[in-house]
Amino acid sequence: MNRYAQGWCWRLALENLLVVGGAFGAAVSQTLALSANCVFAQMTPDETLENNSIVTPDGSTLNIKGGTQAGSNLFHSFKEFSVPTGGTAFFYNAADIQNIISRVTGGSVSKIDGIIRANGTANLFLINPNGIIFGRDASLNIGGSFVASTASSLKFSDGKEFSAKTPQTTPLLSVNVPLGLQYGANSGSILNQSQARNSSREPVGLQVKSGKTLALVGGEVVLEGGRLTAPGGRIELGSVAGLGLVSLNPTDNGWALGYEGVQNFQDIKLSQQAVVDASNKGGGGDIQVQGRRVTVTDGSQIATKTLGAETGGTLTVHASEEVVVSGESTNPQDFSRLTTRTEGAGNAGALTITTGKLAIRNGAQVSTGTLSTGTGGSLTVNASDLVEVSGESKDGEVLSRLTTRTEGGGNAGNLTITTGKLMIQAGGQVSAGTLEQTTGAGGTLTVNASEEVVVSGESTNSRDFSRLTTRTQGTGNAGNLTITTGKLMIQAGGQVSTGTLLGSTGQGGTLTVNASEEVQVSGASADGEVLSRLTTRTQNTGDAGDLTITTRKLVVENGAQVSAGTDSGTSTGDGGTLSVHASEEVRISGPSPNDGDVSRLTARTEGAGDAKVLTITTGKLVIENGAQVSAGTSGEGQGGNFDCDRKGLSGSEWVRSPTNR
C-alpha cells in the first residue's frame, strides 16, 4: 500500500503560493484557480448514467448533486473520486433516499483525506475496484451506514448489477435493496490511516452514527494506525481474493456480511496502534473479521465493550490460515488485543475465533471479561492445526494470555479450545478465573486437542510460568478444567491446575484429563525452584476439586508433582480426590534435577482440612528412585485412603497411607 502517492493537490497549490513571493495578488488568483481545478480534477463524474452526477466546487466543499434515482436508491458514477486534506465531499440527497450508491469507473485509486458527508439517514456505498486510501484526516458525516469496497459491482435481488468495471451507458438501475458485492479477479486494496477526532477531541477515525454499520471490504485490508468506530453498531472487515460474492444481509444495524460465495481470501493487517471499536454506553456492537491471515500488532486492538445494562455485541474472527496477535506499542501500556467486555449490568458478548492457527505472543491478550455485575462472554477458539500462547512484553511485566475472567460480581465466561495442538510456552497463560475481591464465579475451561497439549517453561525473567488453569482469588467458585487429547506434556515448570488462592473463599474446580496415549509431568524450571505440576489445590477455606486422569500411560518424573490437596498450613478446606486410570502403566520416578524434590503422586492436606482418597487403576505401577505415592496429611486434618488396583507393582520406594490397602 505504501506505493500509493500520499501528496495531495491542495498541498501543491499551497506550495505554489509560497514560491511566488512578492507577486501576491497574482499568486492568490493563480492558486485559487489551481485549487479549484485540482479539486474538480480529483472528483470527475463520468457520463454513464441517465442523469449524470454533477460536482460543483464551493470553497473546500465539493457539492455532489444529480445522479439517477431508482426507488429509494440514488446512483452516482465517477471517473475519479478523491477528497483532499481539508476538503468535503457533500452528497445532496432527498429525504426519501435510503441508499446512495457511488462507483468509480476510471483507473485511479480513491484517496480520501477529508470529510464524506450526506443528508439525512441515507446509507452510503463507495465502490472502486482500483483501491481506496483513507488518510489521517479522513472522516464521515453521514446518518446511515457506510460501506467502502473494491468490488467490481453491486448486485441486487432482482438480478440487476451496478458495475464499476463494465459500466453500461444506459444501465438498468434497480429499485431493490443491494444483495451483494461481486468481486473480480484482482480487487484493489483498502488502507485506513484515519485518526480523525470527534467533537470531544477523542480519536475515532472513520465513525458512523450509533447503531449503524461500518464496512471495509477489499482485497488486502490494512489499518496503519487507523481507527474504525461504530458505537453499538456493526463493523465489518473483509478481504477477498479472486472471484466471489459477498452477501449483504439486512439487519437492524445495517448489514451483516456473508462469505459463503467466496473461495479464497487475502490478508487483514492492523498495526501502529490501530483500533476497531464497537463499544457503547448501551450494548456494544458486533464485529466480524474475515480474511486469510489476520494480524494484530504494535498495540493494535479489536474490541467491543458494553458500558450499560444492555447485552454486549459479539466479536467473530474467521481466518482461513492464521490469526496472529502480538506485541505492544511504543507505549508499554498498550498491548495488542482482541476483547469483549462488560463494565455494566449488561452481559458481554461472545468472542469466537475460527482459523488454522492462532498465535498469541509477546504480551498480547485475547480475552472476554466483566468488571461489574454483568456476565462475561464466552470465548471459543477453533483452530484446526495449532493454538500457541507464548512469551511476554518487552519489559517482562505482561504475559501473553488467552483468558476469560471476572473482576466484579458477574460470572466469567467459559473458554473452549478445539485444535490439533495446544502449545503454552515461555510464560504464556491460558485461564478462566476470578481476580481478588470479586464475587463472581470463574468460567469452565475445556480443551479438545486431537494431537497434544504442551505446557512448558517460564518467562524470560523467571518470575512467571506457563499455565493452563482455572482458579479463584475471590468468593466465587473456580470453574472446572477438562482436557481431552492424545498427549498431555507438562515440562520445565509448567503448571496445569484448578484451585483457590490465598484470600479466597470459593471452591476449587475439578480437573479431568482424558489422554488417549500418555500424560507426562516432568522436571522443574531452569533454576529448579518451580516444579512441573498437574494439580487441584486450595490455599484457603474452600475445598480443592477432584483430579481424574484417564490415559494409557502416566509418567511423573524428575521431581514433578501430581496432586489433589491443600498446600498451605493456614488452609481449612478439604483436599480433593485423585483418581488415576492408566490401562498400561503408571510410573513415578526420581528426584528433580537439583535433587531437592522427589516426584510425587499424592492426595494430601497441609492444613486443617481432610485429605481424600487416592485411587490408582493400572496394568503396572512403578515407583522408583525416591519417588512417593501417598494419601495423608501433615496438618490437623484427617489423612486420606490409598486404593490401588494393579496387576504388577515394582520398586521399593515410598507408598504410604494411614489406611493402606
Q: Are 12 and 135 in contact (CB under 8 A)?
A: no
pLDDT at 655 (0 to 100)? 52
Q: Domain span at residue 30?
A: 9-39
Residue 297 lies in a domain: no
639 pLDDT band, cuts 50/70/90, is low
User: Rounded distance, CA 562 to CA 496, Å?
Assistant: 10
Mean pLDDT of 362-385: 90
pLDDT at 152 (0 to 100)? 96
Task: Look at phi and psi of residue 512 and say left if phi exceeds 0, alpha if psi is from -120 to 50, else beta.
Answer: beta
Residue 299 has a CB neighbour count (10 Å cut-off) of 24
User: Rounded distance, CA 512 to CA 483, Å?
Assistant: 6
Highest mean pLDDT among 69-78, 277-286, 640-649: 69-78
Residue 23 lies in a domain: yes
Q: Is the pLDDT of residue 290 over 90?
A: yes
Instruction: Name which of 41-50, 93-102, 433-442, 451-460 the model is least confident about.
Output: 433-442
C-alpha pair distances (Å), 120 with each of 77, 91, 142, 434: 21, 10, 7, 47
pLDDT at 190 (0 to 100)? 99
Whole-model pTM? Answer: 0.90
Residues 562-606 have pLDDT tens digits of: 998 776 556 666 777 899 999 999 999 988 666 678 899 988 766
Residues 16-71 have pLDDT tens digits of: 333 333 333 443 333 333 344 444 448 999 989 999 999 999 999 999 999 999 99
Mean pLDDT of 233-243: 97
pLDDT at 527 (0 to 100)? 82
Task: Look at phi and psi of residue 371 and say left if phi exceeds 0, alpha if psi is from -120 to 50, else beta.
Answer: alpha
Q: Which residues contact 15 (CB under 8 A, 6 or more apart)?
A: none
The C-alpha cell that represents 439 in the structure block:
464475587
Highest mean pLDDT among 292-296, 429-433, 536-540: 292-296
Reported residue count of the chain is 661
Residue 196 lies in a domain: no
Residue 24 lies in a domain: yes
Mean pLDDT of 272-276: 97
C-alpha pair distances (Å), 577 with each of 34, 140, 269, 511, 614: 84, 61, 48, 10, 6
The closest of 515, 520, 578 to 547, measured between CA atoms, is 578
Residue 16 lies in a domain: yes
Residue 31 lies in a domain: yes
Per-chain mean pLDDT for the chain:
86
Q: How many domains does the chain have?
A: 1
Q: Return phi, psi of residue 242, to 5°.
A: 75, -170
Q: Is the pLDDT of residue 523 over 50?
A: yes
pLDDT at 413 (0 to 100)? 86
Residue 574 lies in a domain: no
Taking CA 263 as the corner, what is the angle to CA 259 and CA 268, rounded to the nearest 5 degrees? Answer: 70
C-alpha pair distances (Å), 103 with each of 74, 119, 131, 242: 11, 19, 12, 20
Q: Is the pLDDT of residue 109 over 60?
A: yes
Burial class (CB in 10 A: 0-12, 13-18, 19+), 109: buried
Burial class (CB in 10 A: 0-12, 13-18, 19+), 261: middle
pLDDT at 650 (0 to 100)? 54
Percent pLDDT > 90 in the chain is 62
Instruction: Name which of 133-142, 320-329, 393-402, 472-481 the model is least confident about.
Output: 472-481
Interaxial angle between packed helices 24-42 and 9-19, expressed in degrees from 0 to 180 and rounded to the nearest 10: 170
Taking CA 507 as the corner, what is the angle to CA 502 and CA 513, rounded to the nearest 5 degrees? Answer: 105
Note the Cα 58 to chain centre separation in Å: 44
- DSSP letter for 461, please: T
Helix (H/G/I), strand (E/B), else coil: 426: coil
Instruction: Name which of 70-74, 335-339, 404-408 the model is least confident about.
Output: 404-408
Residues 249-258 have pLDDT tens digits of: 999 999 999 9
The C-alpha cell that represents 634 in the structure block:
501433615
pLDDT at 657 (0 to 100)? 44
